[in-house]
Amino acid sequence: MYDLGIFATRPLDQPLVRRLVVLKLWQARDTFDAERLLGKFKHGTSFDWDDLVQLVHKAHRIDPGKVTGDCVRGFRFLTELTADEKTLAADPFRREHALWERLRGEIEGGR
C-alpha cells in the first residue's frame, strides 16, 4: 500500500497501466472492478497499517489518510476503461481470448 501511495503521486502512462491491469487479471482468471478497488483505498480498513509501519524505514511516517487519499486520486483513471477493456475485465472464464490477444498485441506494437 505504501508503494501504491508513492506511485499514485507520480506521472504514469495511465492508458498503459489500465490496460496491463485488465490483461493481467484476465490471465489470472479474475475480474477487475475499479470502483471496488477505489473503495478499498478510500476506507483503508483492508490494510494492516501496523504491519506496514514495521516494513517502512522509521524516518518515513505513515499517514493512512494521506496514503489512501493519494491512491483514490492517483488511480481514479482505472475507472475509465475502454469498451474492450470492460469486456475483458468482466470475463473471468477467459472466453474473450481473441480480444485479449488483440489488446496485448496493441501494447507490444506500441499501441
- What is the mean pLDDT of each successive set of 10 residues along the chain, which is 111 residues long? 91 96 95 92 81 78 89 96 96 95 90 53
The confidence score (pLDDT) of residue 53 equals 74
Q: Quick check: pTM over 0.75? A: yes
The confidence score (pLDDT) of residue 111 equals 53
- Report the domain count for the chain: 1
CA proximity to 94, closest of 106, 108, 104, 80: 104
The confidence score (pLDDT) of residue 64 equals 86
Rounded CA gap, 68 and 41, in Å? 5
Structural domain that includes position 54:
2-108
Taking each helix axis from N to C terminus, what angle separates 34-43 and 64-74, rounded to the nearest 10 degrees? 160
CA proximity to 5, closest of 88, 55, 90, 86: 55
Total residues found in the chain within this entry: 111
| Half-sphere exposure at residue 16, Cβ-oriented, CA atoms within 13 angstroms | 8
Task: List all residues 6 or more positions away from 7 whose beta carbon is below 8 Å from its beta carbon.
Answer: 74
